[in-house]
């Protein structure tokens, strides 16, 4: 292992979770991360889903006691005109809401609702806004308002679960 340099950040898992929910110096995209192989003994990428990397990153955060990462940009992510980040589909909305539900249920089961309530609620609200923006830019033949509304209902139900965990 190399020594941590000044531009490295080492955080405990709760601080890292806050960072990935709020996207401060960290994100859920896995293509810019290195993982110990043993982490994947506890869970696997979910095949067949859009945003499977979102699930993997948040579940990784549950599996570790601390995380070290660089603040230096060493990876450039190219967003194409037809990428999942810029176009919408019914499946995109349902997968996002479904995987967010799996993540949040795992976090709530671990008793993390109260310490992360602010960050989780912010993530839900931002996710709803992002879905609405993607919907507005999308081809009406590829995405339905009903799919968007169903995903938003699922996300709002998650917000209710987080709020109940704090009471």
Choose between 2 and 146: higher pLDDT: 146
pLDDT of residue 2: 47
| Tokens coding 79 | 């967003």
Of 53, 145, 51, which is closest to residue 92 (Cα–Cα)?
51
Q: What share of the chain in percent tops pLDDT 90? A: 34
pTM score? 0.82
pLDDT of residue 138: 86
pLDDT of residue 156: 96
3-state helix, strand, coil in the chain (%, to 5): 55, 5, 40
- Asked if 138 and 87 touch (Cβ cutoff 8 Å), the reply is yes
Residue pLDDT, tens place only, 28-38: 777 767 778 88
């Amino acid at each position: 292992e190399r020594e941590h340099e000044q531009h490295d950040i080492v955080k405990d898992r709760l601080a890292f979770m806050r960072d990935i929910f709020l996207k401060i110096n960290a994100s859920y995209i896995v293509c810019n991360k290195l993982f110990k192989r043993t982490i994947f003994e506890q869970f696997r990428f979910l095949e067949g889903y859009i945003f499977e990397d979102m699930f993997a990153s948040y579940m990784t955060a549950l599996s570790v006691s601390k995380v070290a990462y660089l603040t230096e940009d060493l990876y450039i992510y190219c967003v194409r005109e037809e990428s999942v980040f810029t176009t919408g589909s019914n499946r995109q909305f349902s997968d996002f809401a479904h995987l967010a539900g799996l993540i949040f249920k795992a976090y709530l089961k671990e008793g993390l609702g109260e310490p992360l309530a602010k960050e989780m609620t912010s993530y839900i609200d931002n996710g709803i806004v992002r879905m609405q923006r993607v919907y507005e830019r999308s081809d009406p033949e590829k995405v339905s308002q009903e799919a968007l509304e169903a995903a938003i209902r699922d996300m709002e139900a998650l917000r209710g679960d987080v709020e109940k965990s704090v009471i």
